[in-house]
Amino acid sequence: MYRFADVIIDISLDKLDRPFSYRIPDRLLGRLEIGMRVLVPFGAGNTTKKAYIIALKENTEYDLSKVKDIQDIAKDAVTILEKQFLLAAFIRKNYGGTLNQALKVVLPAKTSVKKLLLREVVRIMERDEIISLKGEALRKHQNAKVKLLDALLEQESIPYEWITGKLGVSSQTILSLEKAGALKINSVTKYRDPVKFENAEDDRKNLSDEQRLIVDEIEKDFDNGNPGKYLIHGITGSGKTEVYMALIENVIKRGRQAIFLIPEIALTYQTLLRFYKRFGNRVSVMNSTLSPGEKYDQCMRARDGEIDIVIGPRSALFVPFKNLGMIVMDEEHETSYKSELTPKYHTFGVAKYLAKITDSALVLGSATPSLEAYYMAKNGEMRLFKLTKRLTGGELPEVFCVDMRQELNSGNKSIFSRKLKSLIEDRLEKNEQSMLFLNRRGYSGFISCRACGEVIKCPHCDVSLSEHYGGRMVCHYCGYETKKPAVCPKCGSKYIAGFKAGTEQIEQLLQKEFPGVKTLRMDADTTSTKDSYEKILSAFANEEAQILVGTQMIVKGHDFPKVTLVGVIAADMSLGSADYRASERTFQLITQAVGRAGRGQRPGNAVIQTYKPDHYAIEFAKNQDYEGFYEEEIAYREMLSYPPVAHMLAVLVMGADEAAVLKLSQSLSQRAKEYSKAENISESAMPVLGPTQAVIGRIKDLYRYVIYIKADNYDILVSVKDSLEEYLKLNPPGREYIQFDFDPINAF
């Protein structure tokens, strides 16, 4: 009989991140399980705290007179399953943070709020009446109405939030159709599926030879008891999703389940619809628009075997299937797969581990694979498949690269090149749509010359220097610092400055150049509310604007058949960022942006405006040559020991007292160096860089310093982290916080 339990207290405090022992009172004997949430008295004041049971024991080694009783089982608590525990322990070990934080990550729903009040929209008109209503709406160009009516033809009842959210149709439109007698709005208490499609017919395709090969090979491995890791490299529209669906179908036939991961922002109505058409109500969705109760329901449905597939962003990885067989990561290169909250886990790393402990296949797909994935494929750690043909017709656009230095030389000081301007004009005349993409990713005040394009770089690190107050330039990898020059060191021009144009400015400039033009803007400002992203996209799809201006958000997934021109305003902006991944990002963004044009019947054009037409990232992107880009980029990573060739651990120290932050950073850096000495690791095998002030040196009055530690072997970095944590336990910092970030994807 278990009479004692070890628990983890539910507080995010490093100091309490260890198990505490409690006695199980008689009335709870035999009722407790590992993973349950309980209430315990804690500390001198015996305040009631929530805790997770992580072990049950017959005896305890502690002084019995000091061991307290568990109070009760927490109400509405979610029990953590064994696999989730393993995942939490893995995350804790490999990415840092406390076990309690890791447990929170693996529990997609923290409480079991059931019985929600939900609204759903139900069709009450006959289909042919709906069709005639739709005809009328089409004539009046009421695009939102058309969309909703289409959806109602597809399925009889639709969650209200889905319509106003993902579908981007306003409440007014719903109300006007309610008035017209086409639908009614119901309140339902029981949660069913996030979406339910009826009368939806699967338009299954006969797989092409390239597709067939992938499906057959993976199936063979699976049946031989060797589910492996695979990377599918195929341009958008080459049939990857069709392959995923075939793969998942095979897995389900064998009584296993599948997790289909997508970057949050790419969860489109179209993708979902395709899955529902094939798998019906055995599919579910997990994303941030679901309430905690809905998330909980989806987890329970998965655990109880009611669903076979869950689609969602990285958190979908933690849906507790009984017999998982496959994990798919679509758009594998997307940075949103990395968590930016502690624990800063990499979805791929966790997925790999989950695949291992569940004997599942892991399938990655992308049009522009991350260097990490491609490197693994090249080294035989993952099998590479290619899809080379676009199956829907539509040709890749003709691409023009404009050298903005020459534009300036010819007297054009505008942000638009002459080529781009004339093409925009042409599209406006033809009533076709354009997209202007301002590449601002990684933007952190780097300094470049407008006359020759020179970007000022650190002499030691090959990353650009960032502009700081007081005319200083700083390297955020090694701390190198120098004064900002008055003229360009290369050409002597005085046009040397940080690049500052924003999307708003571009919109204004468009108005000036093309009076009366209808534009839409999509950036962090215009998409701060929950559904604004989908709303802007649907407005553009409904042709409420001729030009869509935006940041990297606009290059993702969506198909706009009427877009025949894509302009990349400052293609090399992201090249200047203080980040070793700058070229990779630039290549991915331009490749994707260019791929936006000419999806429909009409051929498209793309204009890449750059100060560095000769940069390999730009040249390879212009030619849509991934392989060429990879070879050049991996050589650079090899030369400088950057991931994926080597690994990097960033230790971020934050606190309100700058001197204390700096002192702690120095101690940690010292400790890391002592560790390598004790372990006989040479300085070149494990360089410790910094501390240096972070890119953003202070956020919300907290100063930030960072230490970078590099090593060829990831496990060395995990041990260094363990050693630093050990140090912190023995020398608890006053009021400073420490964050670990393995293979960071953003510079600090």
Residues that bind ligand ADP (CB under 6 A): 205-208, 211, 234, 236-242, 391-392
Residue 208 CB, shortest distance to ligand ADP, in Å, is: 5
Residue 748 sits in the site that holds Zn ion (CB under 5 A):
no
Rank residues 474 and 718 by Cβ distance to Zn ion and give the closer one.
474
Query: Which of the choices ligand ADP, Zn ion, none does residue 458 contact, using the CB cut-off of 5 to 8 A by kind?
Result: Zn ion
Rank residues 238 and 546 by Cβ distance to ligand ADP and give the closer one.
238
Rank residues 94 and 211 by Cβ distance to ligand ADP and give the closer one.
211
- Contacting residue, 53, 371, 461, 554, with Zn ion by CB under 5 A: 461
Give dist(CA 20, CA 70) in Å, integer: 11
Residue 394 CB, shortest distance to ligand ADP, in Å, is: 10
Give dist(CA 494, CA 497) in Å, integer: 9
Residue 478 sits in the site that holds Zn ion (CB under 5 A):
yes
Three-state secondary structure readout of 691-728? EEEEEEEEECCEEEEEEEEEECCHHHHHHHHHHHHHHH
Pairing of strands 605-610, 4-9: unpaired
Q: Which residues contact 179 (CB under 8 A, 6 or more apart)?
A: none
3-state secondary structure of 665: helix
Query: Which of the choices Zn ion, ligand ADP, none does residue 491 contact, using the CB cut-off of 5 to 8 A by kind?
Result: Zn ion
Residues in contact with Zn ion, shown as a per-residue x/- string from 432 to 451 under the rule CB under 5 A:
-----------------x-x
Residues 492-521 within binding reach of Zn ion (CB under 5 A): 493
- Full DSSP string of 174-203: HHHHHHTTSEEEEEESS---S----SPPP-
Give dist(CA 206, CA 344) in Å, integer: 41
Query: Which of the choices Zn ion, ligand ADP, none does residue 539 contact, using the CB cut-off of 5 to 8 A by kind?
Result: none
Residue 635 CB, shortest distance to Zn ion, in Å, is: 20
- Among residues 597, 564, 538, 593, which one has the least CA distance to residue 432? 564
Give dist(CA 607, CA 622) in Å, integer: 9
Residue 493 CB, shortest distance to Zn ion, in Å, is: 5
Here the tokens at position 183 are: 């639908």
168 neighbors 539 (Cβ within 8 angstroms): yes
Query: Which of the choices ligand ADP, Zn ion, none does residue 736 contact, using the CB cut-off of 5 to 8 A by kind?
Result: none
Give dist(CA 558, CA 89) in Å, integer: 37
Give dist(CA 675, CA 546) in Å, integer: 60
Rank residues 347 and 448 by Cβ distance to Zn ion and give the closer one.
448
Residue 387 CB, shortest distance to ligand ADP, in Å, is: 7
Rank residues 242 and 294 by Cβ distance to ligand ADP and give the closer one.
242
Rank residues 393 and 515 by Cβ distance to ligand ADP and give the closer one.
393
| Cα dihedral 469→475→479→482 (10° resolution) | -60
Rank residues 278 and 521 by Cβ distance to ligand ADP and give the closer one.
278
Residue 693 CB, shortest distance to Zn ion, in Å, is: 12
Residue 203 CB, shortest distance to ligand ADP, in Å, is: 7
Query: Which of the choices Zn ion, ligand ADP, none does residue 250 contact, using the CB cut-off of 5 to 8 A by kind?
Result: none
The three-point CA angle 149-153-159 to 5° equals 75
Residue 498 CB, shortest distance to Zn ion, in Å, is: 14
Query: Which of the choices Zn ion, ligand ADP, none does residue 319 contact, using the CB cut-off of 5 to 8 A by kind?
Result: none
Rank residues 89 and 391 by Cβ distance to ligand ADP and give the closer one.
391
Give dist(CA 301, CA 530) in Å, integer: 26
Which residues of this chain interact with Zn ion, rule CB under 5 A?
449, 451-452, 454, 458, 460-461, 475, 477-478, 480, 488, 490-491, 493
